[in-house]
Amino acid sequence: METIVFGLLNGVSYGLLLFMLSSGLTLIFSMMGVLNFAHASFYMLGAYFAFTITGSTSFWIALFIAPVLVGLVGALVERYGLRKVHANGHVAELLFTFGLAYLIEEVVKIVYGKTAVDYRVPDLLNFAAFEIYGATFPAYRIFVIFIAIAMLVGLWFLLKRTRAGLIIQAALTHPHMVGHLGHNVPFIFMTVFGIGCALAGLAGLMAGNIFVTDPAMAVQMGPIVFVVVVVGGIGSLEGAFLASLLIGLLQNFAVGINASFAEIFAFTGLSPTSEVGDITISSLAPVLPFLLLVLMLIFRPQGLMGEQEL
Amino acid sequence: MNFRKTAILAAATSVIAIGAASADTIKMAFIDPLSGPFGPSGEAAYTSFQLAAEHINANGGVNGDMIEVTGYDNKVNPKESLVQLQKAIDDGARYILQGNGSSVAAALIEAVNKHNARNPGEEILFFNYAAVTPAFTNELCSFWHFRFDAHADMKMAGITDWIAERDDIKSVYLIGQDYVFGQAVAAAAESQLAEKRPDIEIVGNELHPLGKVKDFTPYIQKIISSGADAVITGNWGADMQLLMKAAAESGSDVPYLTFYGGSKGAVSSLGEAGIGLLYQVSEVTTNLEASDEQYALIEEYKERFPDYDYYYHRAWNAMDMFVAAAEAAGSADPIPVAKALEGLTIEHAYGSATMRAEDHQIQQPLYISVVSDDVKYGVDNIDLGWKLVDAGTISMESAEQPTTCEMERPE
Amino acid sequence: MSDATQTFQNLAPSAGAKFRQRTLPILIFAACLAAIPMVGPSRTFYTIAHQMGINIVFALSYNMILGKGGLLSFGHAVYFGFGGYVAMHAMNWIEDGSGLWAGFPVFFLPLVGFAGGALAGAIIGWPSCRKAGTTFAMISLGVAELVFAAAFMFDSFFGGEQGISGDRMNGVELFGLSMGPISEVYWFIAFWTVVGLVGMWAFTRTPLGKLSEATRDNAQRVQFIGYNPQRVRYLVFIFAGGFAGLAGGMAAVNYEIFTPDAMSLVPSGFVLIMAYVGGITYFVGPIFGAILLTYMQSMLSDFTEAWLLYLGVLFIAIVMFAPRGIAGIVFGIWDGLRGSNPGQYIAGLLMKLAGILLMLIGLIVLVEVSVRWSNGYGEVYEPFGMHLGHQNVLSWLIIVVTAVAGVALTRYASKDKEAA
C-alpha cells in the first residue's frame, strides 16, 4: 500500500516535471524536425535566470520573467542560428545544437561560476504539505504539479482554441501548405522555438531548486527528454503528457520493487548469485525509459499518440 | 594550463631569485579533471597542491630544489589520462598526482607499473590523494603507488566504530552507487557491522545506477518506511547532493553517514536542513583545534581561491611527506624517495600520519563530523560548517585495516 | 527520326588517372607515416599520433553509415567498445597461453576486434536497421544507453568501472616488434590505420558500397531495381561495426585497458563530431576531423581551461559557414587555386583569412579575460607580454575593434567575391 501511494505521488510529480521539460521539445521536434540537444541547456538557463531574478526581486516575479527571457534567447538562436543551418540538413542542425550546448554551459560557468548556486525554494512554499507513512510531502511539489497542469491547460487552449494555435498545428504537419496559404512560416517557427525554450526555462525554474542548480544540470537531464518526445509520439502534446507520466510512474514503481531477476525467473532455474540473477528491478529503474524507447520504436514507431512515424 | 604554468613558474622563479641560484625544478604532474562537469572537484585539489608547493618553495624548497606542480586535464577519462600521463613524462614530471575516479587511478597504476618496468632509469611515482578503492593497497598494490587518503574500508571502520558506540541505533540502511566502489562500501558496512554490533539489523541494501537518478525521493521514502535509525552511503558528486536534497525535502531526520558529504556544494545545497542530518567521515575538518599558523593557512587559501574551501588537507600531507622523504634520502629521485616514504611518520597540523611500508597506505586518525551552524569556518561561503560529533574521533589504530598486499620492490 | 546511334566518349578514367587519384594518395599517406619516426618524435607526439590513428579508423567507420549510408547513429562507440573488449579479453588469453591463443600474435588483435564489432553490429543492427532516419537515430540512442548501463552490471565481461586491462608484451612476436616501447607500437598503429583506410576505401568501390549510397539517396528506387534496402543497411551496418571494432582493437593494444566509458554517449557523440567537422561528403573528410579534434581534445586543454567553449564555437562555425567540413574548405581552396583567376582568388582568400583571424583574436581575448575575471584568482591574461586585465580598457578595446574589423573584412571579402 505504502509503495503504491508513494509511487503514485512521486511518479506524478516527477512525470509532470518531465512533461514541462519535454513539451517544448515536442513542439520543436514535431514542427521543425530538429533534434535539439541544447533543449536541456535552456532548462538550465531557466534555473539560472530564476536564481538571478529571485536574488534581486522575488521568486514570484522570476516565475513570469525568467521563462520569457529564456524564450527570447531561444527565438534569437532560431532566427540567427538554426534558420541558417536548416538548409544543410538535420545532422547540421543537430551539430549546431551540440555546439550551442557546450557554449551555453561554458558561458554559464563564466558568468555564474563553476559550482552550484544557492537557488532555494521560496519561503512561502517551504513547508511540508502533509505527512503519510512518516514521510512528508513538500508543498512546493504540489505547487509544481499545479503549475504543470496549468501549463498543460494553457497550451491546450492555445493550440486547440485559438486561431494562432490552429495555424501552429497546421504548420506542425504541413508547413509547406501553411506557407502557401500566406502565413509567415519562418516567423511561426521562430515563435514555436521560442515558446518551446520558454517552457524548458519554466521547467528549469521549477526544478532548479528541487534538484541542484549547477553547470552540469543540463548534461544530467540529457537524453531523457528525447525518450518522452518519441514515446509520446510526434506532434502530440497529449502523447508527451502521457509518456511523461508513464515514465515518471514506471521509474518510481520500479524503485519500490526489490525483487531480483533470480526471484522473478525462478522457474528457469536462474541462480541468484549469477550476474543476471543478481540484478534487481529497482536497480534497473533509471534505464527503463530507454528500454521503453527502443521497444516502442521497434513495435510502434508512431509512439503512443502520434499520427505519423518519425 | 598554460597560464597556470606561467603563474607557478613566475612564483617559483621569484623565489629562486631570492634563494639558491643553482636550484633545479622538481616537476609534479597533477592529472585530474580541470574542465567540464567534474572540473571543480579537480580544481579544488589542484589549488591545494599549488599553494602547498608555493609554501615549500618559499621555505627553501626540497634540498634547495623548487617544486613545480603542473595541471593536466584528463576529463575524468581513463584513456585521456594515459595520454596526459605521456605528456607529463615528456615534460619531465617524475611524480604524478591524481585522485578523482577509481577507474582513472586503476588505469594510472597499471600504466605507471608498465612504464617503470619498460623504462628502467626513468621511473615515476604515483601519489594518489583521493581514489579510495581498497584494492589499490591490497591485491593491486604497487611499489610505485602511494595513497594519502584513508581507503573505503578504513572510512567505513570509522563510521561503524561510531555507530557501535551509539546504542540508540538499532537498524541501518545502506544506499550506494551500483559499481565496484558502491558495492565495496556496502560489503564493508555489512561485514564490519556484523562484527562490531551483531544486534544491528540492516534493513535495506540499495544500489542505484551511477549518475542516472534525477529524483531520489522514492529511495528516501523506502528508507523512511524501513524505519532505519541511520543511513550509510558512499555516494559522491550529483548522486550525493540529490540524495541529501531529497532526504531533507521528505523530512527524513536520521543521521546520513557519508564519505563525501564534505565535497563541494553538498552543504550549501541543503542549507539549514543539513544540520544534524548530514555527517561525514574525513581525515580532517577545518573546525578541529589547530595552531594559529594552520588557521592562517586556511584563511589564506580561502582568500586566494574564493570559490573553494580548505578541504584537501591531504594535499599538504602528501607534499610534506614528500619533502621529508626527499630530505631524508638526500635526493628527489623517485626510487630513493619511495624507499624513504615507506614507514615515514610526519607531524602535521592535526596530529601525525604514517605511511605504512607494507602497502603504501597512509595511516591516520579519522573524524566524524556533522553539519552545524556553530562553527569557526563555514563551507561553500555560507555560515554552516563541519563540527566534530561526540566520540567522533577515531584513533589511528581503530581505523587501521589489515592488508593482503604482497609488494614487489626493486632491489 | 534521327539516328539513334551516338558516339559515347569514354568516361572511364585512364590508368594514369586511376593511379593518380586512387593509389597515389594512399601511397603518400603511407610514406608520411613511415617517415615520421625518422624525425625522432617525442613520447607526446607518439601518444597523440596513436590516438589520431585510432580515431581516423573510428571516424571513417562512422562515416560508412552516416556519410555513405545516411544513417545517423548516436551509439557507434558501442561497436568500438565491443571490439575493444573482445580484443582485450583475447590479449589476456594470449597471456594465459591457453589453447589456440598461445600462437596468436598480439599484432593481429585488431582482427579479433573487427570480429567483435561486426558481431555486435549483427546483433544490434538486426532490430535497428529496419528503419532509417530519425527512428534509427533514436533507437541507436536508446541502445547506447542500455549497453552503457549493462556494462556496469556484467562485470565478468566489462570489468566494472575499472574495466579490463592486459599486457601487450606477450605471445608471438611479429616483425621483430616486442610491442613494449611506444615507438614500436607506432608501427602497429600505422599498419592498421593504413589497413583500415584501404579496407574502407575498397568497401566504397564494392557493389554493396555503391548500393549503400543509393539507399541513402532513394531507398524506394533501390527497392525497384530489386534490392532490399533494409538488407543493404544491415550489411553496411555490420561492416561499419566491424571497422569500429578494428579501431577498438587498436585502442585495446595501445592503451592496454578498456573501460565502460569507451562505450558511453560521449565518445559516440565525439565520433559524430569528428566525422561531420571533417566533412561527411568526402571519403577523406573524417580523417581531417579525427586529426584536428584529437589534437584539440588532448592539447587544447594545456592552453586554456575554456577549451570546450572553443570547441562549441568551432561546431557552430562549421555548420553555419562550412557545412561540407574541413575537407570542403580544403578542396574548395584547391579548386579556387586551379580556377580561372587564381590571383584574384588568393587576394579574396587572404582577406577572408585576415578577417577570420581578427575575429578569432577578439574572441580569444574576450574568453580568456572573462574566464580569469570569473575565477577571481587574480590571474591576468598576458599574451605577448601585454597585460590584459578585465579592468584594463585596452582589453575591451582589442575585443571590440578586432571583432568589428574582422566581421567587416569577411563581409567585404564575401561581397567582393559575389560581385566578381
- Written as nine digits, the cell of A268 is 528457469
Answer with the residue of higher pLDDT: B336 or C371: B336
- Among candidates B333, B330, B320, B353, which has minimal Cα distance to B95? B333
Model confidence at B14, pLDDT cuts 50, 70, 90, reads very low
B111 with B239, same domain? no
Let me know: does B363 contact B403? Beta carbons within 8 Å. Answer: no
C346 with C300, same domain? no
Task: Determine the Cα–Cα distance for residues B380 and C51; give it in Å rounded to an integer.
Answer: 39
Q: Is residue C386 part of a domain?
A: yes
Can you tell me which residue has the cell 501552429?
A: A168
- Among candidates B192, B172, B365, which has minimal Cα distance to B255? B172
Residues C335-355 pLDDT 10s: 888 877 778 888 888 888 888
- Among candidates B335, B340, B301, which has minimal Cα distance to B321? B340
Beta bridge partners of B95: B28, B125
Can you tell me which residue has the cell 616486442?
A: C178
Q: Which of C308, C331, C364 is the last residue of a domain?
A: C308
C216 with C348, same domain? no
Q: Is residue C373 part of a domain?
A: yes
Let me know: does C313 contact A99? Beta carbons within 8 Å. Answer: yes
Task: Determine the Cα–Cα distance for residues B261 and B233; give it in Å rounded to an integer.
Answer: 10
Nearest to B83 among C42, C256, C298 (CB): C298
- Among candidates A190, A200, A189, which has minimal Cα distance to A75? A190
Nearest to A230 among C138, C149, C313 (CB): C138
C343 with C303, same domain? no
Q: Which candidate in B212, B264, B270 is best for mutational testing of the A interface (most A CBs within 10 A)?
A: B212
User: In this model, does residue B275 exceed pLDDT 80?
Assistant: yes
Hey, is the C-beta of B35 within 8 angstroms of any chain C C-beta? yes
Cβ burial, residue B70 (10 Å; 0-12/13-18/19+): buried
Q: Is residue B411 part of a domain?
A: no
Q: Which of A116-120, A275-279, B328-332, C7-11 has the highest mean pLDDT?
A: B328-332
pLDDT of the residue at A81:
87
B247 with B382, same domain? yes
CB pairs under 8 A between A and B: 103
| Number of structural domains in chain C | 2
Task: Determine the Cα–Cα distance for residues C374 and C377; give it in Å rounded to an integer.
Answer: 9
Hey, is the C-beta of C305 within 8 angstroms of any chain B C-beta? yes
pLDDT of the residue at A309:
63
Q: Is residue C334 part of a domain?
A: no
Q: Is residue C233 part of a domain?
A: yes
B231 with B257, same domain? yes
pLDDT of the residue at C315:
85
Task: Determine the Cα–Cα distance for residues B7 and B54; give it in Å rounded to an integer.
Answer: 11
Residues of B whose CB is below 8 A from C303: 1-2
Task: Determine the Cα–Cα distance for residues A168 and A158; give it in Å rounded to an integer.
Answer: 10
Distance from CA of B47 to the nearest CA of A (A): 14
Residue in A with minimal Cα distance to B238? A212
The domain containing residue C205 runs over which residues? 17-308
Residues C166-199 pLDDT 10s: 888 777 677 777 777 778 888 889 899 999 998 9
Task: Determine the Cα–Cα distance for residues C363 and C395; give it in Å rounded to an integer.
Answer: 11
Q: Check which CATH number belongs to the domain holding C249 and give it.
A: 1.10.3470
Return the C-alpha torsion angle C27, C29, C31, C36, nearest 10. -170
Mean pLDDT for B7-26 is 49
B322 with B389, same domain? no
pLDDT of the residue at C417:
57
Q: Which candidate in C51, C183, C301 is best for mutational testing of the B interface (most B CBs within 10 A)?
A: C301
> Which residues fall within 8 angstroms of residue C187, CB to CB, at 6 or more apart?
C175, C177
User: In this model, does residue B5 exceed pLDDT 70?
Assistant: no
Model confidence at B233, pLDDT cuts 50, 70, 90, reads very high
Say if the Cβ atoms of B212 and C149 lie within 8 Å.
yes
Residue type for C170, please?
N
Residue in B with minimal Cα distance to A105? B36
C41 with C151, same domain? yes
Q: What percent of chain B has pLDDT over 70?
A: 94
C107 with C169, same domain? yes
* Beta pairing class for B366-372 and B95-98: unpaired
Secondary structure in 3-state letters for A7-18: HHHHHHHHHHHH
Mean pLDDT for C37-45 is 80
User: In this model, does residue B21 exceed pLDDT 70?
Assistant: no
Q: Is residue B123 part of a domain?
A: yes
Q: Which of A90-94, B266-270, C282-286, C372-376 has the highest mean pLDDT?
A: C282-286
Task: Determine the Cα–Cα distance for residues B63 and B294; give it in Å rounded to an integer.
Answer: 24
Return the C-alpha torsion angle B120, B123, B128, B134, nearest 10. 20
C293 with C352, same domain? no
Half-sphere exposure of C55 (CA within 13 A, CB side): 32
Mean pLDDT for A162-176 is 80
C81 with C228, same domain? yes
Q: Which of B117-131, B256-270, C1-15 has the highest mean pLDDT?
A: B117-131
- Among candidates B386, B131, B152, which has minimal Cα distance to B270? B386
The domain containing residue B122 runs over which residues? 2-150+290-363
pLDDT of the residue at C389:
74
For residue C132, what are the CA distances in angstroms to A289, B119, C59, C69, C122?
A: 22, 51, 20, 9, 16
Distance from CA of C357 to the nearest CA of B (A): 21
User: In this model, does residue C239 exceed pLDDT 90?
Assistant: yes
Can you tell me which residue has the cell 580515431?
A: C55
Residues of C whose CB is below 8 A from B70: none
- Written as nine digits, the cell of B267 is 552543504
Q: Is residue B205 part of a domain?
A: yes
pLDDT of the residue at C138:
84
3-state secondary structure of B290: coil
Q: Check which CATH number belongs to the domain holding B172 and give it.
A: 3.40.50.2300
C355 with C252, same domain? no
Q: Is residue C94 part of a domain?
A: yes
B386: left (phi over 0), alpha (psi -120 to 50) or beta: beta
Let me know: does A59 contact A119? Beta carbons within 8 Å. Answer: no
Asked which of A260-274, B46-60, C38-52, C73-87 is least confident by mean pLDDT, the reply is A260-274
C299 with C375, same domain? no
Say if the Cβ atoms of A255 and B39 lie within 8 Å.
no
Instruction: Output the DSSP codes for C185-232.
Output: HHHHHHHHHHHHHHHHHHHHHSHHHHHHHHHHH-HHHHHHTT--HHHH
Beta bridge partners of B127: B97, B146
Secondary structure in 3-state letters for B234-271: CCCHHHHHHHHHHHHHCCCCCCEEECCCCCCCHHHHHH
Q: Is residue C1 part of a domain?
A: no
pLDDT of the residue at C5:
58
Asked which of A145-154, B93-102, B213-222 is least confident by mean pLDDT, the reply is B213-222
Residues of B whose CB is below 8 A from A116: 241, 264-265, 268-269
Task: Determine the Cα–Cα distance for residues C145 and A226; give it in Å rounded to an integer.
Answer: 12
Say if the Cβ atoms of B271 and A14 lie within 8 Å.
no
B340 with B382, same domain? no
| Number of structural domains in chain B | 2
Cβ burial, residue A71 (10 Å; 0-12/13-18/19+): buried
Q: Which of C285, C308, C331 is the last residue of a domain?
A: C308
C344 with C296, same domain? no
User: In this model, does residue C9 exceed pLDDT 70?
Assistant: no
Hey, is the C-beta of C298 within 8 angstroms of any chain B C-beta? yes
B44 with B161, same domain? no
Say if the Cβ atoms of C161 and B304 lie within 8 Å.
no
Nearest to A212 among B39, B221, B269 (CB): B269
Task: Determine the Cα–Cα distance for residues C86 and C241; give it in Å rounded to an integer.
Answer: 13
User: In this model, does residue C83 exceed pLDDT 90?
Assistant: yes
B309 with B350, same domain? yes
Model confidence at B1, pLDDT cuts 50, 70, 90, reads very low
Hey, is the C-beta of B302 within 8 angstroms of any chain C C-beta? no
For residue C89, what are the CA distances in angstroms to B135, C156, C242?
A: 21, 10, 17
Q: Is residue B96 part of a domain?
A: yes
Angle formed at CA B317 by CA B82 and CA B156, multiple of 5 degrees: 80
Within a 10 A sphere around the Cβ of A23, how many other Cβ atoms?
A: 28
Hey, is the C-beta of B37 within 8 angstroms of any chain A C-beta? yes
B41 with B125, same domain? yes
Long-range Cβ contact pairs of C201-210 (< 8 A, separation 24 or more): C201/C22, C201/C26, C201/C283, C203/C64, C203/C239, C204/C68, C204/C283, C208/C232, C208/C235, C208/C236, C208/C239, C209/C68, C209/C236
pTM value is 0.86
User: In this model, does residue B382 exceed pLDDT 60?
Assistant: yes
B100 with B172, same domain? no
Nearest to C374 among A85, A94, A113 (CB): A113
Say if the Cβ atoms of C280 and A92 lie within 8 Å.
no
Hey, is the C-beta of C230 within 8 angstroms of any chain B C-beta? no
Q: Which of A121-125, A279-283, B150-154 has the highest mean pLDDT?
A: B150-154
Nearest to C276 among A95, A286, A293 (CB): A95
B255 with B389, same domain? yes
User: In this model, does residue A221 exceed pLDDT 70?
Assistant: yes
Residues of C whose CB is below 8 A from A91: 66, 72, 272, 276, 280
C22 with C123, same domain? yes
B300 with B319, same domain? yes
B183 with B241, same domain? yes
C81 with C183, same domain? yes
Model confidence at B2, pLDDT cuts 50, 70, 90, reads very low
State which H helix or E strand residue A138 sits in. strand A135-138
- Written as nine digits, the cell of B204 is 535495506
User: In this model, does residue C265 exceed pLDDT 50?
Assistant: yes
- Written as nine digits, the cell of C12 is 572511364
